[in-house]
Amino acid sequence: MTAYFDNSATTKPCKTAIEAVNDALNNCWGNPSSLHQVGLDASNKLKFARKQVSKLLGVNENTFYFTSSGTTANNTAIFGAFEKMKRQGNKIVTTAIEHPSVWEPIKYLESKGVQVIRISPDKSGKINEDEFFSAIDKDTILVSCMAVNNEVGSILPVNSIRAAIKRNGSPAIIHSDCIQALSKIPVTPKALDADIITVSGHKIHALKGVGGIYIKNKGSVKPYILGGGQEQGLHSGTEAMPAILSFGAAAEEAMKVSENSLYVSGLKKKLVEAISDIPCVTVNSPEDAIPYIVNISILGLPSQPIVNFMDEKGICISAGSACKMGHRSPVLTAMGLSPEIIDSAVRISLSRYNTEEEIDILTSAIKEAAEKYGKKR
């Protein structure tokens, strides 16, 4: 039996997503741009998948575009918004705990002379709103802030950015990376008041190789992946129908956001209560983080050996973010945690498919690792 707790890295495709893939491979393998019946059938399926994901996001399907990944979506958002707005200013405000697919494009723009302000979190992973919002001024053209942090699960104040932009007289566009938030908390444009929202399929039990981007006003983002003009010119390249149809099916399965969150909250509560009295274990996620992500440290035992120990027992967790291996976590570093805590940190990420039995297996293994190898405080 494998107890899988690395759902923030990727998720197991759900049954309906797999069925959608099989349908695509067997019955919908045409090019959606082809003007014959096989192509038209594919085009109709593409439209239906767009409606499914748009419904989960709470947007009009005409404002949602498929991409080849969440990374591609974030790159499109950052570079595309900057290109459209660069004549109105030269400043980007973001946080110091963004995913590399946001951090690296902004870092590249910084190397070309763009002023970048990165706001660091406190020790709980939360962003100081006063500091964040005061950094926004008339020269700010883009504010990029993730909805949920991928390592500790902290919820960031995206829905308060608009007021700061108006108050400070800024022309800025708001982008929110919602890849870890989709299906876990409400991420509709109404809830977040964002101009651009980026998402990914394989984080919600669809296939890898598909992401998406909501754009309130398509004219605010300049396409940078050029070619055949697919996705209304925003993301050229023949659409990957199996992955896209799986995204649509998974989105429909994930509509019960509150119900699923309540169930996972129960699993998290059981986990945290079981490990809270272990002397060498610290919980690094804030108490009000989303229930799907729990970051802990077993002091005295480095992260990778913890992952290896768990793996030998059929338990899958990750050493911080699985998206950038071999580096000390920039998120935990930005939070100001000690090197000892950072170097022994692991991420446990849950899904609605985890069970209480699996939580028992995990907590038992954590206790065993702590007793054998942990540093007594």
Return the active site residues. Answer: 323
**Are the beta carbons of 205 and 15 closer than 8 angstroms?**
no
Q: Which residues contact 372 (CB under 8 A, 6 or more apart)?
A: none
Is the separation of the CB atoms in 346 and 303 below 8 Å?
yes
Instruction: Classify residue 263 by burial, with Cβ atoms within 10 Å: 0-12, 13-18, 19+.
Output: middle
Do 95 and 106 form a contact (C-beta atoms < 8 A)?
no
Of the candidates 153, 137, 155, 131, the residue with the CA atom closest to the CA atom of residue 145: 155
Q: Do 239 and 230 meet the contact criterion of CB atoms below 8 Å apart?
A: yes
Query: Is residue 219 packed enough to be buried (19+ CB in 10 Å), middle (13-18) or exposed (0-12)?
Result: exposed
d(Cα 18, Cα 21) in Å, to the nearest integer? Answer: 5
| Block residue for tokens 């065993």 | 368
Helix (H) or strand (E) holding 347: strand 345-349
Tally the residues of the chain. Answer: 377
Cβ atoms of 64 and 203 within 8 Å: the answer is no
Question: Using alpha carbons only, what angle is made at residue 161 by residues 157 and 164, rounded to the nearest 5 degrees?
Answer: 130
Q: Which of helix, strand or coil describes residue 92? A: strand
Residue 125 near residue 155 (C-beta atoms within 8 A): no
